[in-house]
Structure 1
């Protein structure tokens, strides 16, 4: 059965996000301190304390989708900072100076608090730049090194965190979580409640359990019933609301919708000839790219990291929610990028989803990307590696994404006898 259209879960998530952001702007206008938090720092503490926050990567996706990335980068350059490095990190900073704030849902309120992990010297500088504004404080988390990786970490990480990440790393981040709590109490006047954080953590686990079921449904379906351009927002908007009943319920609604599509035999491309995997950050400024190869080549993107890492990377069961939260975030970037942990996971995902090839978008701040490409190729999985930033239109134009992917898909289709 053909005719896969936009998911109802996607439409509902996007509508919720607009309403939520309007409320956040009202809270900021009323004098509440808003936090800008990087995706690799624990938002759950903020949720437990009811501190309004915006995730830096989500806002970068809005800036890019509204075709304002280049103007935002120009603002960054005008402030005296580099505009050709860590573009994804600095789009939010530059966006507050673009002319068309109406396009950006009214604009990002000035954050009073900025939180990020120091994944490199440049990252620290990018987030310190916010403190040039009076009244904005930066809370940095240390970046610790990965330990030797066990095989099949995805089977261990929910319970046996220390085996995956190491006890010392988790203990350090748990202490930093406590420091963040004290920092937020001082800055906001709010009081932290351990039981409230425990509730948040339980809701997150429920949400990710639904994401795991959804990921597994899609992995087993032939042909694929959904596009990644639909599943990415349907997953990631609720991810930015992790620990809320709405986030949990949205993940369940996505699962139920996908389950119904699979049962009905719905197909994005009924004559599916090439199954593709997108490795790397989302192409927010041109999500239509994920659809442009369907009609001519029978090619469909069946996988992105967003649903998969939600399924495998976030569930943590434990009695101490502060420690469990540390175990969630201490290695979340390792799972996606570390040469010790990431390659085996991408290979597993490629196999379970039955992909014919991988498009790998490599940014300049992803040091372990080459190991991922090599691991896939060693298993006989063709990889098209594209070196560009998803947040910099100039770099994407130079990379000729459409032409490169079209040639790659043609080769794959030819190998399968499809062209």
Structure 2
């Protein structure tokens, strides 16, 4: 099966966009480096060019330069065996072959992140060793007990999921970020522009939800996660743009056509797998390695699924509604009880036979996710390693571990194509 046209188009757009961003930096514009857990929508509304830290880490890893970047981090006197995914951008500045990294990451004038732990703050504070770089931190607030089936309520009734106090705090921090950006960029914030950005994002994510539902219902699966991940995530880094919405539409339409045509990644699909955790950008071929010999296909990753369930927000005040999008985004992916119940739901709707769970050192709630899946009758292989550290991945023998795990699953599906 050839690569999705939506994926090819997204990758081409990203290369072109990054060239434009580098040109804007060369012309003297302030560039921001923003962590995925902090609001990018304000930057888009103000037309402040930005790079998402995790996207850049994926580029570094895909180019097989993670090891060299971590060595640079160690040379600066920082730990290279913790928060590897967060620090790759910092280390990439010292990589010898900058051309391999599309010419290199422009020097940011602003870095933005949520303080999800002491280490995260230290990672971003490290950028301020350069006096021209300013750091804006968001506070990390604690998850609250929430209603079951939060994904049915969160788009509109977000206070009951995350708590009014948490949302109010982040909304105030959003206002502080606006003032911070106006001072450092000379740009002016317009509330109506943010409202437009938020509307476009809801339209984009509603399309992603429809795409996720198509994939969940299809037996056998018509698309690989190695195609849907870039086709979803590149537009995600451009949330709130006309292009991002159009890209989500293109992906949906292409997947719908494949479903209608009865397309299959593996016609004799025997084992359906779910990948929980961050992507293996340095070895995306691993997701395809078990298809021909074992009839095993990865049908799920968090990227399309969280776009479908985790980002849609409707509200009258765009600043407060934006806070409701980000105040709990990491809770939905990692914190009990929100994350475990969601993964169980996704495993059931996608009819998976087993889960490969990649656990990094900064995912404190990972064990609750594994236990919830196992209690629901879904076998889980836990692999404890950072997706951004080739040394840890080699020690974990990821490919061999998955092959042995798949062999224990056999043909776990019933006649209706669902998990027994």
TM bucket normalised to smaller: over 0.9
- Equivalent of residue 344 in structure 1, options 334, 341, 347: 341
Q: Distance in 2 between matches of 1:143 and 1:186?
A: 24
Distance 1:340 1:50 in 2: 37
State how 1:172-183 maps to structure 2 within 5 Å.
172-183=169-180
Aligned to 1:194: 191
Cα distance in structure 2, aligned partners of 1:216 and 1:148: 27
Gaps of 5+ in 2: 415-420
Partner of 1:53: 50
Pairing 1:98-113 to 2, within 5 Å after superposition: 98-113=95-110
- Say if 1:204 and 1:242, in contact at 8 Å, map to a contact too: yes
Task: Report deviation, 1:413.
Answer: 1.4
2:310 pairs with 1:313: yes
2:220 aligned with 1:223: yes
Q: Does 1:283 align with 2:280?
A: yes
Alignment of 1:4-403 (within 5 A): 4-403=1-400
- TM-aligned CA deviation for residue 123 of structure 1: 0.4
Q: Offset at 1:134? A: 2.3
**Scaled by the length of structure 1, what TM-score is found?**
0.98
Tell me, in whole angstroms, the C-alpha distance in 1 between the residues paired with 2:62 and 2:47.
28
SS at match of 1:127: helix
Structure 1 stretches lacking a partner, 5+ long: none
Distance 2:376 2:151 in 1: 19
Q: 1:276 aligns to what SS in structure 2?
A: strand
Using the alignment, how far apart are the partners of 1:415 and 1:340 within structure 2?
27
Find the residue that maps to 1:385 and give its secondary structure. Answer: strand
Distance 1:150 1:5 in 2: 42
**Structure 2 length as normaliser, TM-score?**
0.98
Which runs of 4 or more aligned residues in structure 1 lie more than 3 Å from their structure 2 counterparts after TM superposition?
Answer: 414-417
For residues 267 and 96 of structure 2, the distance between their equivalents in structure 1, rounded to whole angstroms, comes to 44
- Determine if contact 1:146/1:340 at 8 Å carries over to the other structure: no
How many equivalent pairs are there?
Answer: 414
Preserved contact between residue 225 and residue 301 of structure 2 (Cα < 8 Å): yes
RMSD: 0.8
Q: Tell me the SS of whatever aligns to 2:410.
A: helix
- The alignment partner of 2:206 has SS state of helix
CA contact (8 A) 2:271 2:412 kept: no
Measure how far apart 1:415 and its partner are. Answer: 5.4
Q: Is the 8 A contact 2:114 2:139 kept in 1?
A: yes
